[in-house]
Amino acid sequence: MGSRAESSGLTLTAQDAALIRGMIERGDRHHDIAAFFGVNQGRIAEIKNGSRYPEVPIANHDELPPPGPYLTPKTAWLENRLH
């Protein structure tokens, strides 16, 4: 059995948590939210259930990014290669 993969180094901030709460309230899929922030869906669930950043309020709707799905790194890479 191999060792674990190296951490991505990406962390979520309180500001990210506010956006995530707003995106969840809007009805965005956890998969799309996780892809936007570059984290796994478990981090999104932790914010939703309050085990991370429970004190952070929901961001205003006008502060949220557009709803997903978002381009994956693969899709962006392929599009850039073709141009």
- Predicted confidence (pLDDT) per residue in 14-70, tens digit: 999 999 999 999 999 999 999 999 999 999 999 999 999 999 999 999 999 999 888
- Sorted by where each begins, the domain ranges of the chain are 14-82
Between the CA atoms of 5, 45, 36 and 70, what dihedral angle is there, to the nearest 10 degrees? 110
Q: For residue 10, which of 37, 47, 48, 34 has the smallest C-alpha distance?
A: 37
Query: If you average pLDDT over every residue of the chain, what do you get?
Result: 91
In the chain, the amino acid numbered 35 is: A
- pTM (2 decimals)? 0.82
CA distance 63 to 50: 21
